[in-house]
Amino acid sequence: MKKLLAASVIMLSSMSVMAATQSTQGGFNGPTEAAPLVQAQGGFNGPSAIPVLNTVKAASHADDNAAVELTGHIVSSIGKEDYMFKDATGEIKIEIDHKDWHGITVTPTTKVIIRGEVDKDWTVRTIDVDTVTLAK
């Protein structure tokens, strides 16, 4: 019985400390607008221990799931989320999900950097794009 009473006292005192801590924090308390559909995400931008392919020619002979970072132009749309991408070494089919555009609009003359991985089927390789950014 004494253990139960002691546990109850500890729990109640810790709850009052938590309530006091929460009431001292600032911020907005009220109705909010809907969150934006696309939120910017951060991450590491630097060298990788995993080799990253940087030409269409290398990607067209790569294994499945090989990482790529290609700089070039999206030259045409060939389906709902499918496009043709071209760099100085060749062309390859790429797939960009709507959410991966992050609000960027491009034309065939816009130089872009696409990051993703190789998707290898029996005889065809495509690039599954994770991010699209404007090249500088």
Report helix, strand or coil for 135.
Answer: coil
Q: Which pLDDT band, with edges at 50, 70 and 90, does 56 fall under? A: very high
Question: Could you identify the residue written with the tokens 């132009």?
Answer: 73
Q: What is the pLDDT of residues 82-131, one digit of tens each?
A: 999 999 999 999 999 999 998 999 999 999 999 999 999 888 999 999 99
| Contact of 81 with 96, CB cutoff 8 Å | yes
Q: What is the pLDDT of residues 26-42, one digit of tens each?
A: 333 333 444 445 556 67
Q: What is the pLDDT of residues 3-27, one digit of tens each?
A: 655 555 565 555 444 444 444 333 3
By residue count, the chain amounts to: 136
Go through the domains of the chain in sequence order and give each one's CATH number.
Answer: 56-134 (2.40.50.200)
Mean pLDDT of all residues in 49-54: 83
pLDDT given at position 8: 59
